Amino acid sequence: MLDTLATSFQKLPVTIITGFLGSGKTTLLNYILQNFAAYKVAVLVNEFGDINIDSQLLVAVAEDMIELTNGCICCTINDNLADAVYRVLDRQDQIDYLIVETTGVAEPLPIALTFLGTELRTLTQLNAIVTVVDAETFTPAEHYNSGAAINQILYGDIILLNKTDLVSERRVNELEGYLCSVKERARILRSEYGKVPLSLILDVNLAAFSSFAETPTVPDNGSQHLNNDGFMSVSFQSNRPIALKKFQQFLDYQLPDNVFRAKGVLWFAESPKRHLFQLSGKRFTIDDSEWIAPPANQMVLIGRKLDALFLIQTLNNCLTQ
Ligand SMILES: Nc1nc2c(ncn2[C@@H]2O[C@H](COP(=O)(O)OP(=O)(O)OP(=O)(O)O)[C@@H](O)[C@H]2O)c(=O)[nH]1
């Protein structure tokens, strides 16, 4: 019935952006939103953590954006993701393209199967899975510790070797060779800050050739991978400003090695600006912009076996008295 009805509609093209923690997914999404002007795009952004920092980093956070609730998309595959897609479809007169950004710890397969293995396949067209790889931090050995991370590569139709500005040409060539060897048919592209010709990653219809495109079922254990991989997130919020020196101390001496990724909007007592803090692997950046809401601190830290109490107490100690 739905199949017949759907033939009179244009299926909504869908691109899934996946990739390990901090690889550059939101940066790519921002670039797409700024440069895909001919299309009216809806994005579904999902975050691993209680506070949605990504939504604050996107340039076009408008009524088109539907945020999923906390937790990984593929853990809530039977309700949140599908519901959100139906909400987008309900307003399909306005939307030409759907982009789903997964969390860095998401298994891509259950997400893809939401589009391919349910009634949504009659209404949507999974176009491609784009996997962003951090050229600086990617090492096969570490990624193999995470089932989700390697599956992101294995199921990627397009692999974006990002952050090439941070590594040598030789390293990029080696990585490219490695990625070609584990994922023969993938389209591998190099990028800095996600900048690639959009015609190479959007509206490309590559997913039709993916190995799992014919798979008709949704796995029922999609929520297990978070526990298996051991990732967890810790959230910190405060309405009191941070003392810059104490925060520097925290970064230099107190930040545990098992915090792999952190991001947040920070309020420093010494500055009237809004500071965007990003930590990915060992590298961090702090950029400033103007406040668009009353100043406050919001930060999410992600890693394995985190000591939540220690992190929150230590960050609390960074606040001004
Ligand atoms: N030097 C450099 N930094 C980059 C590049 N792409 C992204 N970044 C930085 O890497 C950090 C993480 O980028 P995001 O786009 O937030 O990464 P993400 O994959 O969305 O992160 P999660 O959703 O937390 O997994 C940010 O500080 C970005 O500015 C790049 O090509 N070169």
Residue closest by Cα to atom 25 of ligand 1: 21
Distance 24 CA to ligand 1 centre (A): 4
Asked if residue 212 and residue 195 are part of one domain, the reply reads: yes
Report ipTM for this prediction: 0.99
pLDDT reading at 126 higher than 80: yes
Q: Does 89 share its domain with 220?
A: yes
Same domain assignment for residues 98 and 180: yes
Query: Do 219 and 244 fall into the same domain?
Result: no
Instruction: Give me the pLDDT at residue 50, please.
Output: 66
pLDDT attached to residue 304: 86
Q: What is the pLDDT of residue 64?
A: 46
| Residues 117, 264 within the same domain | no
Ligand 1 pocket check for 285: Cβ under 6 Å: yes
Query: Are residues 234 and 168 both part of a single domain?
Result: no
Q: What separation in angstroms does the CA of 121 have from each of 27, 79, 117, 250?
A: 28, 16, 7, 48
**Tally of domains in the chain:** 2
* Angle at which helices 108-116 and 147-154 cross, to 10°: 50
Are residue 63 and residue 125 in the same domain, yes or no? yes
Domain end residue (candidates: 196, 226, 256) = 226
Which pairing describes strands 158-162 and 41-45: parallel, antiparallel, or unpaired? unpaired
Over residues 181-193, the pLDDT tens digits come to 888 878 999 999 9
Instruction: Please tell me whether the overall predicted TM-score, pTM, comes out greater than 0.90 for this model.
Output: no
What is the extent of the structural domain holding 34? Answer: 2-226
Q: Is the same domain home to 185 and 254? A: no
| pLDDT tens for each residue of 145-171 | 777 888 899 889 999 999 999 999 999
* CATH number of the domain within which 199 lies: 3.40.50.300
Residues 181 and 254 in one domain: no
Average pLDDT of the residues in 132-137: 94
Check whether residue 64 and residue 124 sit in a common domain. Answer: yes
Domain boundary among 194, 226, 258: 226
Q: Within the chain, where are the H helices?
A: 2-7, 25-35, 54-57, 82-90, 108-116, 140-144, 147-154, 169-182, 224-229, 244-249, 308-317
Are residues 217 and 242 part of one domain?
no
pLDDT tier for residue 208 given thresholds of 50, 70 and 90 = low
Convert the pLDDT of each residue in 237-292 to its tens digit: 999 999 999 999 999 999 999 998 999 999 999 999 999 999 998 899 999 999 98
pLDDT value at residue 311:
96
Q: Which of 195, 265, 280, 285 to mutate to test the pocket of ligand 1 (most atoms within 8 A of CB)?
A: 280
How close is the Cα of 212 to the center of ligand 1, in Å?
28
Give, for ligand 1, the residue of 26, 67, 130 to mutate: max count of ligand atoms closer than 8 Å to Cβ: 26
Asked whether 121 lines ligand 1 (CB < 6 A), one says no
Higher pLDDT, 198 or 62: 198
Four-residue CA torsion sign, 69, 74, 77, 82: positive
Model pLDDT, residue 72: 36
Domain boundary among 184, 207, 226: 226
Going by their DSSP bridges, the two strands 283-289 and 274-280 should be labelled as antiparallel
Write the CATH number for 249.
3.30.1220.10
Same domain, 250 and 119: no
Ligand 1 and 278: CB distance under 6 A? yes
pLDDT band at 223 (very low <50, low <70, confident <90, very high): very low
Across 70-84, 90-104, 286-300, least confident range:
70-84
Whole-angstrom Cα distance, residue 34 to residue 16?
18
